[in-house]
Chains A and B, each alone.
Chain A
């Protein structure tokens, strides 16, 4: 399968997208045959490996598949959806938000809100214990809560969730089961913000701040329904039921996350009953699973989108005209139809269309290569028969860095199509598929790229502040494209302090409009996510953005 990646990269790219070309049909058939052969081979090894592990797997085990390997397992240092999903199985917050958007007590039993809406005192549960650490079970107390906030507020802690803690000015232990917080400013959903996951003081007391390389990140200890047991060499994770879980022992004894590098193989594994669940089904497999009576399909969390991001440190890409030209040069409808079986919608700006913040008046840039060419000419670039030339007389070209985990068909197709579309408007794209960890370092830390392709996923707050505020333009910040628009900064700040719902909506609609016009990203599409699971599982209720909410109630028959 790796061979095919290099084939794509080395080949001269045709003008038309090859997937639709009859001339390529033969090659396609051969590739499909090869793929089929490879599947069988790989599946054989998959089954052998699963059978080998089955000795330790009881009947009452849920094995689910993900296409991304989890990196860390603490709730804060990872940006990976697969990691964060796992942490939902192991950790709790003071409160949780149920699927009906209601705040529920979790590790806290009750709370008192001060008159100024800035002081919050929580009463904690007295019956919660941490997962065993060095064979010792420790009770959960207020010290854990305050230490979690301190760790997250430490200047050296790098976390995509750090922003949540920026509004807390003080956190105090009142007694073992009482904790008090003071906020800098009143917040629009003050209690809900305390759903952040609590970390154990006793396991972290010697660590001043969180980082990915800490032992805790790979050997987490939580209060949740499942206890971390082991990682294997393929980053397969095994968790076992926490019999002392305060909400009651989970029905399913063991949960195993099994990472797959290829969606097709993962789908086959489900079909052959080697998996019980896939958290995100590739749109191309939907019809097949839909027709298979053994499985249930369920849609969830639609607050996500895909994009091409443009590094504004690149002098050429810092021009809005160039970015706009690129956006008009991409036929997104065709890509959505061809590669994702139309399972999504084209978007126009920085919010997912399922969000309250999406500005419905802003239309996506239409596909118009002639407009792209005109815009590039307006930006001062000279058009030749080979394409556009930059000021040094060289062909206008950019390096597109993409994370690739061995083989991801959909991503490769999107990238190849993008490359073709750019060629049509006279821009050369050099694609650099790199291993995910290297990609993260290149994009988030070093900002060494011209263009990248990725996806964002949001919770219901649809908070885009860290993506586009100039203050997040730093190593490991979310504004890795170095976008800087003072008006956007001002509006983001205004939105953050606003405690008025309609004001927040107006500001976010305005942000949508401005950012869409600025084109820091080419906003592509929001795909409908589907989970598929065997009908042997019951009581499954997928939370829109907390996949494993109430997992302790799930059953396997």
Chain B
């Protein structure tokens, strides 16, 4: 995915050329928005590009095929970034919340265990989740200051039961949930979507709840927005989901605990990033599926549909794409050269791992001449959480020896791989190499995925100020990063050991 910018550029040139012949001059208002979104996209302001599309284009059916491709391309890219932000958010919030709970300072947070419960469930650490949930319940008994959050205890209890497959416990807990309360009813539906893939809530019920939680175009509850986006997206009600995403201030905390006049703690919806990412996934998918019907763009649509499934490591469609990608012939060269690597991504998801490894190894062996293809092969290892030690070892050598800008993505992806495998020292070296080979015209001119991972590796190496500086810059384009920034600030404060000095220069 990190290589998508280069592919995009050549693809766009081709598409624009084709569009002159295929579409003629049916200029419409949407064109302007697509064009300005593309400009933002090219200057790495991906989320701003997405905001432009979401806010200004109400009906995707008014777009022609080329515009649809561009639209989907931008959304795909944003989705891959949101997926990465989501994993960073879970890790950083977990560390911050654990620090808060273990803090021996006066006036302990009573709410932190509840938010940590959700983080642990999402990280599949159910015993720890259970412990924190019980801790929160104890806190409520001692102090009812945060009683508004009490209904969430039954939800988390039910969620843990569902994940554990404990039907009896789930049913018993379900009875305790007040289904007349919109947030509780929606939360119950969301946890079922996440565990069983089923959603049964009446959509009219959510629509009615909107009157309560959206006042004068302002969303009053982030939790409501989170649930509504997830349910609407899951049910394919994309225009409804879009209307919520449009209004949502992604920087807002879900809850602020006021321990004293001078001690406020903000808590964020851990799963919000994933909900918004789900919306992007469904949106891009719906556009591309529509585009599949256009014979001229059929192959392109399939390619990007397969991209979506790789970003989300979706095994259900692996068989389809494993076979269908072999039939694609009408692709620009920049994409067809990546076809074998991506096709093997689906093969890997389908269980044909040996074949996939061989294809990726071949690509990496050729990385000296074609670093983009090598980068793409490593990207597959990242997306699919595949264990590729030999391939990555070769790629690392090529990446470090490649001094030109062409090797930026290879360095980024090898660095990301090491980060995933917790080889932090190597990860930092490779990611710094990538930045070194990147755009010197300002940090934000660089690939957001590179910056995200660099910020994360700096955090892991306790270089907090550098991590926060990058997050600060990136946060200007991705407001949803606020929850990560807040957590890293908190971690930094707990870890910093300086005592105060300032110098003028």
Contact = CB atoms under 8 A, between A and B. Distances in A.
Interface of A: 68, 79-82, 84, 97, 99-103, 160-161, 163-164, 187, 189, 191-193, 195, 286-287, 290, 293, 297-304, 337, 341-343, 345, 352-358, 360-361, 454-461, 463-467, 478, 494, 498-507, 510, 526, 528, 544-545
Contacts of A193: 499
Contacts of A357: 489, 493
A456 B264 contact: no
28 contacts: A68-B505, A79-B503, A79-B505, A103-B497, A187-B499, A189-B498, A290-B440, A300-B466, A342-B442, A342-B445, A345-B473, A354-B469, A357-B489, A360-B472, A360-B485, A454-B505, A458-B502, A459-B501, A461-B501, A478-B504, A501-B103, A501-B105, A501-B490, A502-B259, A502-B265, A503-B105, A505-B489, A528-B443
B143 interface: no
A187 B496 CA distance: 13
Interface stretch (B64-72, B129-137, B457-465): B457-465
A464 B504 CA distance: 12
B263 A500 contact: yes
Interface in B440-493: 440-445, 461-469, 472-473, 475-476, 482, 485-486, 489-490, 492-493
Contacts of A502: 100, 103, 105, 109, 259, 263-265, 490, 493
Contact of A461 (B432, B468, B498): B498
Given A341-B441, A342-B442, A342-B444, A356 B502 contact: no
A97 B497 contact: yes
A99 B463 contact: yes
Contact of B472 (A304, A353, A454): A353
B500 A528 contact: no
A461 B468 CA distance: 14
B260 A503 contact: yes
A15 to B, nearest CB: 27
B505 A356 contact: no
B17 interface: no
Smallest CB-CB A-B distances: 8 pairs: A342-B442, A463-B500, A354-B465, A500-B105, A192-B497, A354-B469, A353-B472, A193-B499
B262 A354 contact: no
A352 B472 CA distance: 10
Nearest to A196: B499
A490 to B, nearest CB: 11
B465 A355 contact: yes
B469 to A, nearest CB: 4
Max chain A Cβ within 10 angstroms of own Cβ: one of B461, B492, B505 = B505
B426 to A, nearest CB: 15
Given A302-B469, A354-B469, A97 B259 contact: no
B472 A189 contact: no
Contact of A356 (B263, B464, B504): B464
A528 B403 CA distance: 22
A356 B503 contact: no
B290 interface: no
Nearest to A478: B502
B105 A192 contact: no
Contacts of A302: 465-466, 469
Contact of B504 (A456, A507, A544): A456
A455 B504 CA distance: 6
Contact of A460 (B259, B482, B498): B498
A332 B495 CA distance: 33
B205 interface: no
B341 to A, nearest CB: 29
A264 B262 CA distance: 48
A461 B342 CA distance: 48
Contacts of B432: 298
A124 to B, nearest CB: 20
Contacts of A360: 251, 472, 475, 482, 485-486
B463 to A, nearest CB: 6
B24 interface: no
A101 B469 contact: no
Contacts of A103: 497
B106 interface: yes
A341 B105 contact: no
Interface in B408-446: 432, 436, 440-445
B498 A457 contact: no
Contacts of A361: 251
B197 interface: no
A526 B503 contact: no
Given A160-B501, A458-B502, A460-B492, 20 more contacts: A68-B505, A81-B503, A100-B462, A161-B501, A187-B499, A287-B441, A290-B440, A298-B432, A302-B469, A341-B440, A345-B473, A353-B469, A353-B473, A354-B465, A355-B465, A356-B489, A456-B502, A465-B500, A478-B502, A526-B469
Contact of B505 (A99, A358, A457, A544): A457
A505 B500 CA distance: 15
Contacts of B472: 345, 353-354, 358, 360
Nearest to B106: A500
A460 B496 contact: yes
B66 to A, nearest CB: 32
B498 A356 contact: no
A2 to B, nearest CB: 22
Max chain B Cβ within 10 angstroms of own Cβ: one of A97, A103, A356, A478 = A356
Nearest to A75: B501
Max chain A Cβ within 10 angstroms of own Cβ: one of B464, B468, B500 = B500
Given A97-B498, A465-B500, A343 B443 contact: yes
Contacts of A68: 505
Contacts of B500: 163-164, 459, 461, 463, 465
A355 B468 contact: yes
A505 B264 CA distance: 9
A528 B498 contact: no
A298 B445 CA distance: 18
A118 to B, nearest CB: 15
Max chain A Cβ within 10 angstroms of own Cβ: one of B403, B441, B442, B465 = B465
Contacts of B263: 500, 502-503, 506
A463 B443 contact: no
A385 to B, nearest CB: 39
B465 A506 contact: no
A154 B32 CA distance: 69
Given A189-B496, A501-B494, A503-B105, A164 B465 contact: no
Contacts of A545: 498
Contact of A463 (B100, B486, B501): B501
A542 B504 CA distance: 20
A356 B492 contact: yes
Given A302-B469, A544-B463, A544-B466, A458 B501 contact: yes
A332 to B, nearest CB: 14
B482 A457 contact: no
Nearest to A285: B440
Contacts of A454: 504-505
A290 B436 CA distance: 7
A80 B504 CA distance: 6
Contacts of B490: 356, 501-502, 505
A500 B109 CA distance: 12
A489 B63 CA distance: 59
Contacts of A358: 468, 472, 489
Contacts of A297: 436
A101 B462 contact: yes
Nearest to B491: A356
B450 to A, nearest CB: 14
A504 B489 CA distance: 12
Contacts of B473: 345, 353
Contacts of B482: 360
Contacts of B436: 290, 297
Contacts of B441: 287, 341-342
Contacts of B463: 99, 544
A477 to B, nearest CB: 12
